[in-house]
Structure 1
Amino acid sequence: MVAALTWGRQTSARAADVPIAYTYDIDNSLIYKFNTKDRTLVGDPISTAKYGRDIAVTRDGKYAVVFLPVDRTVVRYDLGRPVVSPDGKYLYVPMTRAGSVLVLDAATDQPVGKPISACDGPAYIALNADGSRGYVSCSSGDAIAIVDTQKAVRIGDPVKVTRDPLGSALTADGKQLWIAHGFGHAVSVLDLTTNTIDGDPIGFPKSRAMVGINIR
């Protein structure tokens, strides 16, 4: 199952500054990486601790960090979590059963206003560069909900996508949302200018459960 996805960059003599996406395979405890330009896997997978839930990559691209919810620990590897707003003032917490996103003051951990109504089974949220838009992965509804974080409202109807969207990450230019589909065994790309899926999903073997994604 594709559980998490994040971004990095790979520099070589042939192709400088190529964006790399990192995914975490929850079933087999492996980190995969692939070239986002030609959408092919890069190198061999990295073996990790069991039962990881999400993955992040440091800004310098040197380390992958896997969250282990069972042990409540974070493990760093050489290469539902809260999301912090770009200004560091707020935390956005997907509330799966409530179908909403809870907003917390990052300094006090206290709720700010009412939860933002999102969709059926919100699992993850990705924020744009200025934090004004949130893209909520609706795992139960097989959709992405777009929310206005300043007005605390959902914008239009959720956009239907492939089965079981979990982790998601925005490209640096904010034009694409890369989505990890857990038991859909794939990663897909949502074009945010048209709100349609761009090309075919990147498939993984059915034994691979990908639950999150992050881009650097």
Structure 2
Amino acid sequence: MRIEFLNSRNEVVRAFSTKGIDGDTLKVKAGSNEFNWNLRVPDAKAFEGMIMWSGPLTGPKVVPGDYKVRMIVDGATQEQPFKVLADPRYPSTQADLQAQYDFLLAVRDKLTETHQTITLIREYRSSLQDMIASKKVRARQGEDIIKSLTSIEETLYQTQNQSRQDPLNFPIRLNNKLAHLNVIVGTGEWRPTDGAEQVRQDITKRIDAELTKFKDIETKQLANLMNLDELKAAIDMK
């Protein structure tokens, strides 16, 4: 069984399946079933062992408007339209809510890109260490690349975090700073302030600088040493 929620452009904004979709697993039992969608799009991707301080990866709520739900069971499909209404307790306009959604979606997408990069850095570093040990690459060459990759990772994420209390002792890095905007802008239903947008742009610019360094290492150095497509496929990130 699969349940899809689509917007007015007929785009799937969230899907749940009994087979599981990025953690969105649909659980059903014999007889009648009830399912409640929290109106949110998928969360940002995480990576193994990630510890954040007040930095949720939650996807934003969809804006008010026309939607439909589609249920697919054994090849048979049923659809039903519905409306998402604005919370009457807030004076925010449709434009305000769209601005909030766009802001939070940009945060989510940049976090996903950042965390996928960290996952790749760790995979490449592990492969390089194996290649150095087996003498498939010169130690100095491999270690220099590892040093550069580690510097990028440590700029993006606080790698000293090993427990939930560690962020009290070690300063948060760029991904956590960006994720914290989910708390600031995602609380309530308001248009993001100009200050919040300036902060988002600044952090995003600094993250992009590190991602550019990573891509440069990936294409100019790592591509000559290993099969990148094979490694990416192994961690389902091709």
Give the TM-score range, shorter chain.
under 0.3
Structure with the bigger percentage of strand:
1
TM-score (norm. length: structure 2): 0.23
TM-score (norm. length: structure 1): 0.24
The higher radius of gyration belongs to 2
Give the number of the structure with larger relative contact order, counting CA–CA contacts within 8 Å between residues 6 or more apart: 1
